[in-house]
Amino acid sequence: MLMPSERASCVPCDRRVFAFEAAVSCLPRICPKTRSARFTQPQYSIASSALTQGCKRARANYWPASRQDERIVAAARVSYGKGTKSVREDAGLIAYLMRHGHTSPFEQVILTIHAKMPIFVARQWVRHRTARLNEVSGRYSILADEFYLPERTQIKPQSKRSKQGRAITELPKETQDRVLALLQRDQQTVYDSYQEFLTADIARELARINLPLSTYTQWYWQIDLHNLFNFLLLRLDSHAQYEIRQYAEAIVPFVRAVAPIAWSAFEEHALYAKKLPKTLNERLRRFLEESAPAQSEASGLLDELNRL
Ligand SMILES: Cc1cc2nc3c(=O)[nH]c(=O)nc-3n(C[C@H](O)[C@H](O)[C@H](O)COP(=O)(O)OP(=O)(O)OC[C@H]3O[C@@H](n4cnc5c(N)ncnc54)[C@H](O)[C@@H]3O)c2cc1C
């Protein structure tokens, strides 16, 4: 459940005006499947902040967290000039920006996400280079006894259609049990060795090297809305691994809360929009042109396609 709370104040001139902080109480479903009971608390938080240069400008430029759409519109108006004032016009302008790849106004909205995830999820997540992050250090800290165990229903065979996916076929319960038992056994064995190394005062940076990809790590991750949309486009997709998709899905309500109009534009013009290959596009147009004289709907669709 989303629990956004807003806090805003005029702070010393060289500090951030911190506009938004929220926490999710139900985490990506993969978190509670760890061996640790500590996952009952929220492990995921997000902040959207406005960097301002002075108290006066802070007041003038301040947008509450839930109104970050206005920040996008204001940035765009630097390009297009004043004139689009109403919410409907703002929505039209944001849709226009999204449709035409005018992405820089979306970069004005910055989100910071505190997330905890298994290392194999972090490995995929970190490939998104247009973010800034700070991760827990296994050289400095003792890593907790926290490992990811998939839900039984997620234990699937290798996909025959995709070299990097799982099939939808169900496995027999005995196979699933065996996989879970082996995963748990190995996690326990390796963590026991880790603890033994630490007890023997072996350096933490060496003690950790056999810990598995299922070990939890955590970080602060800061990204602008344009690049977050790119992350979501790729990681909400059915080709993304199930586990990272859970995190992408957990981020969506925050984006919707922070910039609802931009989110709708993203859904309409990017997330659920399909780019057609040239040949398919030509076939579709030909088909509509041939059908248009007899069917007014085909004629309308053709007009809409031509307006894009
Ligand atoms: C389903 C799936 C499977 C994948 N499989 C693999 C795999 O098998 N192996 C693998 O290595 N990766 C894999 N990836 C990662 C993928 O190749 C991308 O690295 C990752 O998704 C980040 O995407 P991005 O480059 O758009 O994001 P970002 O890194 O955030 O980049 C956003 C935009 O900025 C540009 N950009 C960023 N940094 C630079 C730069 N230094 N110079 C120029 N332009 C830059 C990018 O081109 C992009 O347009 C996979 C990703 C997905 C979603």
* 235 noted as active-site residue: yes
Q: Which of 153, 130, 91 is nearest to 227 (CA)?
A: 130
Q: Check residue 62 and give its pLDDT.
A: 53
Domains held by the chain: number: 2
235 shares its domain with 300: no
Q: Look at residue 30 and tell me if it is in a domain.
A: yes
122 shares its domain with 266: yes
Q: Check residue 292 and give its pLDDT.
A: 80
Within 6 A (CB) of ligand 1 lie: 127-130, 227, 230, 234, 239-240
d(CA 235, CA 251): 11
Ligand 1, atom 49, lies closest to the CA of 230
β-strand pairing of 132-135 with 45-50: unpaired
CA of 241 to the centre of ligand 1 (A): 15
Kindly report the backbone phi and psi dihedral angles of residue 3, in degrees, each rounded to the nearest multiple of 5, phi listed first. -130, 70
Closest ligand 1 atom to Cα of 239 = 1
287 shares its domain with 266: no
Helix, strand, coil proportions of the chain in percent (round to 5)? 50, 15, 35
Choose the catalytic residue: 71, 208, 235, 245. Answer: 235
Q: Look at residue 159 and tell me if it is in a domain.
A: no
143 shares its domain with 291: no
- Which of 234, 238, 243 has most ligand 1 atoms within 8 Å of CB, for mutation? 234
CA of 218 to the centre of ligand 1 (A): 21
Q: Look at residue 17 and tell me if it is in a domain.
A: yes
Q: What residue numbers bound the domain in which 100 lies?
A: 2-148+214-271
User: What's the CA angle centered on 171, arms 170 and 173, to 5 degrees?
Assistant: 115
263 shares its domain with 286: no
- Which of 104, 121, 129 has most ligand 1 atoms within 8 Å of CB, for mutation? 129
291 shares its domain with 239: no
Q: Look at residue 154 and tell me if it is in a domain.
A: no
230 shares its domain with 300: no
CATH code for the domain in which residue 257 is found: 3.30.1360.170
Q: Look at residue 98 and tell me if it is in a domain.
A: yes
59 shares its domain with 74: yes
Q: Look at residue 185 and tell me if it is in a domain.
A: no
Closest ligand 1 atom to Cα of 131 = 30
Q: Check residue 173 and give its pLDDT.
A: 95
Q: Which residues of the chain register pLDDT less than 50?
A: 1-61
Express each pLDDT in 259-291 by its tens digit: 999 999 999 999 999 888 899 888 988 888 888
Q: Check residue 63 and give its pLDDT.
A: 62
Q: Look at residue 179 and tell me if it is in a domain.
A: no
26 shares its domain with 74: yes
Q: Check residue 93 and give its pLDDT.
A: 93
Q: Check residue 281 and give its pLDDT.
A: 85
Q: Check residue 156 and give its pLDDT.
A: 93
Q: Look at residue 189 and tell me if it is in a domain.
A: no
Task: Please say whether the beta carbons of 171 and 61 come within 8 A.
Answer: no
Buried b (16+ CB within 10 A) or exposed e, 65-88: bbbbbebbbebbbeeeeeebeeee
Q: Check residue 31 and give its pLDDT.
A: 45
